[in-house]
Amino acid sequence: MSDLPYTMKPSADVLEITACTILILVSFVGNTCLFYSTRKCITRRLQTSFLLIFSLIFVHLIKNLVVNIMKIIYSSGFMLDSAGCKVLHFTAALTTSLAIWFLSHFALLFHCKLYQVVHPLSELPNLDCQKHSLKVVSALWVAGVAVYIPVLIYTRKVEYLNVGNDTDTLSTNRIYTDCLTDFGNRQIEFYYGKIFLALIDILPLAILVFVCFCMSFLLWERKTMTYGDIWIGEDDSEIEIFRGAKYSILLMLLITPLWISHFILVYFLKDLAVYVFIPAALTALSSGFSALSPFLLMLVNYKVKLVSSCGAKEKISTLQPANVVLSPYT
């Protein structure tokens, strides 16, 4: 049984390298296409907060091009020093929290717009959700960096004095056990490292779930509305709001199980360290959202039916087929 970790280690490293490589490729392609499509749609003056989308793209690319590449380097046999451990832990934690915060803000933005569509006010609302987007996104960036500065300072590489079976049994998870964050104080470790760092992700996730539940109710309410059998069309801005609300719900259903599963595995990491697939599973759970979400976000600003580009609608709208059924109030 003493030879088991040595026989498992190469397989664990290969699995993690494979998972990281796939996630990097998928994320790079998805986020590049999302950036191109979003930048191309700016001229249409759609309602989506483009700064928020670009921030999500930047966070996703950092997650994969920094964290996962460092994991590939480590799994290939190159050791990380204390500086490398600091960058790894700080970047991984920061990008995870920012992705949750930005997505929560994204859902709040579309909930605000959807509520105004479903329940239009007689007067223009005083609060413009889009107007404050720059301030909110900038504040989230500053808050994220400020929150994780202690992680950057107190993370270090563990130096083992004795090499034996105790360290070999954790060889499949070396990167998660060699790079540790030690605050040097039990109270700080408990209140900041355990409770605070967990709450800054759990609370936005709870808000995200609640907001998406409210949007589901608003979408259902919109669907069941009647207007006295009067045909009422939808303009581009309303179509985008409905689409953004629906895909916000899908993004919530994607990120919430991934984060919860990753949190549970990390919490029980010491008990699961002997399993060969744990490093690859942790990588897939932590980076799965940054790889898959861009493909859903692209559908917010793109027509799923016939229109495949932002500028195509203006060209198509000038040509009306003979069999098109127009509104009786056209």
The per-residue b/e assignment along 153-184, b for 16 or more CB within 10 angstroms, e otherwise, is ebbbeeeeeeeeeeebebbbbbbbbbbebebe
| Higher per-residue confidence, 29 vs 228 | 29
Answer whether residue 320 is part of any domain: no
Does the pLDDT value for residue 251 go beyond 90?
Answer: yes
* Choice among 20-29, 80-89, 280-289 with the minimum mean pLDDT: 80-89
Residue 33 forms part of a structural domain:
yes
CATH number for the domain that contains residue 107: 1.20.1070.10
**Looking at the domain assignment, is residue 158 inside a domain?**
yes
Q: Is 199 a member of any domain?
A: yes
Question: What is the pLDDT at residue 1?
Answer: 40
Q: Give the pLDDT confidence score for residue 133 in this predicted structure.
A: 74
Assigned domain for 326 exists: no
Degrees to nearest 5, angle at CA 274 with 4 and 25: 105
- Does residue 61 fall inside a structural domain? yes
pTM assigned to the model: 0.80
pLDDT in tens, 278-317: 888 889 999 999 999 999 888 776 543 333 334 444 444 4
> Structurally, how many domains does the chain consist of?
1
Q: Which tens digit of pLDDT belongs to each residue from 259-278?
A: 999 998 887 776 666 677 88
* 329 part of a folded domain: no
Range of the domain at 52: 4-122+129-223+233-306
Please report the DSSP string for 5-18 in residue order: HHHHHHHHHHHHHH
pLDDT beyond 80 at 168: no
201 residue type, one letter: D
Query: 278 with 272: CB under 8 angstroms?
Result: yes
Residue 221 predicted with pLDDT over 50: yes
> What is the token pair recorded at 117?
């569509």
Name the percent of the chain lying above pLDDT 70: 70
Identify whether 238 is part of a domain: yes
Confidence at residue 305, expressed as pLDDT on a 0 to 100 scale: 36
Burial class (CB in 10 A: 0-12, 13-18, 19+), 64: buried
Chain centre to alpha carbon of residue 247 = 13
- Range of weakest confidence among 57-71, 76-90, 169-183: 169-183
Residues 241, 113 contacting (CB under 8 angstroms): yes
